Amino acid sequence: MAVAQRIREKLEQGLSPQSVEIVDQSHLHAGHSGAPDGGESHFRVRIVSAAFDGLSRVDRQRRVNELLADELAGPVHALSLQTLTPQEAA
């Protein structure tokens, strides 16, 4: 299974988001240290979820990082996060 698909499934299961946008930005890092051939190493993720209500930005990102611990320990070299509540995204 593709890394982006695993990320999507884990975020959907763990956060029941209203929306998830995942953009593979690996092509922007080709040739840089930590950027393997074939991509799927650098991602930008925008997630809107009520699960973030009452959480600080740091706590939201910690929650996502916990859900994606296996990916962050393996194929994902960089993850840029935008974590929003439904009210913030409106």
pTM of the model: 0.85
Provide the domain count of the chain.
Answer: 1
pLDDT along the chain (90 residues), means of 10: 92 98 77 57 93 98 97 89 97
For 50, other C-beta atoms within 10 Å of its C-beta total 13
Domain holding 52, by residue range, is 3-89
Q: Distance of alpha carbon 62 from its chain centroid, rounded?
A: 11
**DSSP code, position 39:** S
The CATH number of the domain holding residue 44 is: 3.30.300.90
